[in-house]
Amino acid sequence: MAGAFQFELVSPERLLLSEEVTMVVVPGSEGEFGVMAGHAPMMSTLRPGLLRVSREGSADQVYFVRGGFAEAGPKGLTVLAEHATSLNDLKAEDIAGQIKDAEEDLSDASDDETRARATATLAHLREVQAALKAA
């Protein structure tokens, strides 16, 4: 595969992807950036968004990532994501239902710790919903 490089997508739970790819578009905190073979060394933090992986001869694979770091260099790219999920595994109606449940949890929260947890969950779900709409 000409122009391919090693790419790894890692979340705290597992290694999601480790293979040769032709290009990856990363949602960096300063904006999206593309990485191809021979990329100059760089590091970036991630913002919530869609990470697109291109391979020669196959459809792009898309992941929702939330937070983390990306390290690119001439030999490859590694993305260490706080959270990463294949877009194929996410359904808009499921996320909408989870948002409704999280809003109810927030309104029912009786202490600061529960309220903070519910607020964080709701913010995460809204980020996922926005990414699905952008896809």
* Per-residue pLDDT reduced to its tens digit, 71-116: 999 989 999 999 898 988 888 888 888 889 889 989 998 999 989 8
pLDDT tens-digit series, residues 37-61:
999 999 999 988 889 999 988 889 9
Q: What is the pTM for the complete model shown?
A: 0.76
Q: What is the 3-state secondary structure (H, E, C) of 21-67?
A: ECEEEEEECCEEEEECCCCCCEEEEECCEEEEEEECCEEEEEEEEEE
Q: Dump pLDDT digits (tens) for 68-83.
A: 999 999 989 999 999 8
